[in-house]
């Protein structure tokens, strides 16, 4: 599978779109906000650029796409006002893979600019927004052109399924699982290391000295990748596929030849790559733990059937919104409804006590070369 050509969050604003199912990612952004605020103010107050260039990597489409960008501009507008300086011009780059629904993003820009003008009057820096399609596991911007890079809930997607997982190596599973052989864990870790080191190297070339990166990534607090909470959802999805195999919906070989291009790293694995790269100092690394209900106040709202007539559960829709493009590419469109119906039922009957979604928020400073 060519992840670059296949992976995209579900576009538009329908029931299974990312726009309608990105509440838990929005919570992660809110929880990371104090760290984003500190990083952007530190940067602004030490460099005072006339034009500040900011990239959001893995922006997707939906309400989260412009959330961080507008927060960052507000922080700088207020900061410059307090310091008695005129606010800088903002040059904002929204990046994602080419299959992302950039059309929906671009259509939302006039309303975004109008709102900013209404909220701020004349007291804000002009803002120029551009889309940048391409993989963040490679260069996207000219050397030393960016001041601030943000990325939320994106770096757990790998550029490819780790090589060497063909055939029956990970039989009946689609990610690392308790029954997976050690070779599966090793292949996933090696792919994460290749990808994350490329991400760091590319950004180290694109950022100005003292430039900043803040990113959040799904992860795990256990050393053993097969015991992390991150495996549970993939195990339940694999179980849903196994049920469809036994009912003759799909062939067993199809299931055995699929593995997800995803990895939930530990903090040690993240830090180890940052130290190996050597171009960044770590300002902070914190854990964000969300309950399995994604931080929604009413757990039942998240797990029960929505009040409309459709038969999918909210959480199944949240996973469908992010994973459907890859699954559909391999298994076919006709499998998606029965799969997520089954998945929703399994989620509902699973004991969720104590299970959490773990993310890390990491703030990095580009060292002076
Ligand atoms: C779960 S969404 C997160 C969207 C948004 N940042 C948020 O927090 O809601 C992950 C996004 O990362 C994008 N993505 C995954 N791999 C990527 C890559 N190599 N380069 C650029 N974007 C990538 C996906 O297409 C997807 O839109």
In the chain, alpha helices (H): 3-6, 23-47, 67-83, 102-107, 109-120, 182-206, 230-246, 252-256, 267-277, 299-303, 314-331, 336-349
Q: Ligand 1 centre from 106 Cα, in Å? A: 17
Q: Total structural domains in the chain?
A: 1
Ligand 1 centre to CA of 245 (Å) is 30
Boundaries of domain holding 179: 3-366
Q: What separation in Å is there between the alpha carbon of 64 and the centre of ligand 1?
A: 11
List the one residue out of 5, 44, 6, 15 whose CA is nearest residue 306: 15
The pLDDT, as a whole number, for residue 294 is 53
* Ligand 1, atom 18: closest residue by C-alpha: 135
Token pair for residue 112? 């975004």
Which residues in the chain land under pLDDT 50? Answer: 295-312
Tell me, in angstroms, the distance from the centre of ligand 1 to residue 62's CA. Answer: 12
In this predicted structure, what is the pLDDT of residue 11? 86
- By alpha-carbon position, which residue is closest to atom 11 of ligand 1? 58
Q: Which residues line ligand 1 (CB under 6 A)?
A: 7-9, 22, 25, 29, 57-60, 64, 95-97, 100, 135-137, 152-154, 157, 159, 322
CB 73 within 8 A of CB 124: yes
Among protein residues, the one with the nearest Cα to ligand 1's atom 25 is: 8
Measured distance CA(224)–CA(131) in Å, rounded = 38
pLDDT, tens digit, 9 for 90 and up, residues 265-315 = 999 999 999 999 999 999 999 999 887 665 444 444 444 444 443 333 677
Residue with tokens 């800088």: 88
- Nearest atom in ligand 1 to 7's CA: 25
pLDDT of 1: 66
CATH number of the domain to which 296 belongs:
3.40.50.150
Q: What is the pLDDT of residue 308?
A: 40
Helix, strand, coil shares of the chain, percent, nearest 5, are 45, 20, 40
pLDDT for position 352: 66
How far does the centroid of ligand 1 lie from the alpha carbon of residue 101, in Å? 11
Please tell me the predicted confidence (pLDDT) of residue 345. Answer: 85
């Amino acid at each position: 599978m060519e992840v670059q050509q296949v992976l995209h969050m579900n576009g538009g604003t329908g029931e299974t779109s990312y726009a309608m199912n990105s509440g838990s990612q929005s919570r992660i952004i809110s929880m990371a906000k104090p760290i984003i605020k500190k990083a952007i103010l530190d940067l602004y107050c030490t460099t005072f650029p006339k034009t500040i260039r900011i990239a959001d990597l893995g922006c997707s489409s939906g309400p989260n796409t412009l959330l961080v960008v507008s927060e960052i501009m507000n922080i700088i507008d207020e900061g410059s006002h307090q310091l008695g300086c005129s606010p800088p011009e903002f040059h904002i780059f929204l990046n994602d893979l080419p299959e992302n629904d950039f059309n929906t993003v671009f259509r939302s820009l006039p309303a975004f600019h109008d709102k900013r003008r209404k909220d701020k009057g004349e007291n804000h820096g002009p803002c120029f927004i551009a889309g940048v399609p391409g993989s963040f596991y490679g260069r996207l911007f000219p050397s030393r052109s960016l001041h601030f890079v943000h990325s939320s809930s994106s770096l757990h997607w790998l550029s490819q399924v780790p090589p060497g997982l063909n055939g029956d190596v990970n039989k009946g599973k689609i990610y690392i699982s308790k029954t997976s052989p050690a070779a599966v864990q090793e292949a996933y870790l090696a792919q994460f290391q290749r990808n994350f080191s490329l991400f760091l190297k590319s950004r180290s070339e694109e950022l100005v000295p003292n430039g900043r990166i803040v990113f959040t990534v799904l992860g795990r607090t256990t050393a053993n990748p097969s015991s992390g909470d991150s495996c549970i959802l993939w195990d339940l999805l694999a179980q849903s596929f196994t049920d469809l195999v036994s009912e003759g919906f799909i062939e067993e070989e199809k299931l055995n030849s699929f593995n997800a291009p995803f990895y939930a790293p530990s903090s040690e694995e993240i830090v180890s790559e940052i130290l190996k790269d050597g171009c960044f100092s770590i300002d902070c690394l914190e854990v964000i733990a969300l309950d399995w209900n994604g931080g929604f106040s009413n757990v039942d709202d998240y797990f029960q059937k929505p009040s409309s007539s459709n038969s999918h559960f909210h959480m199944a829709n949240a996973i469908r919104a992010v994973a459907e493009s890859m699954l559909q590419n391999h298994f076919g469109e006709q499998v998606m409804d029965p799969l997520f119906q089954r998945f929703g039922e399994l989620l509902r009957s699973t004991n969720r006590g104590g299970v959490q979604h773990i993310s890390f928020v990491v703030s990095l400073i580009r060292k002076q070369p």
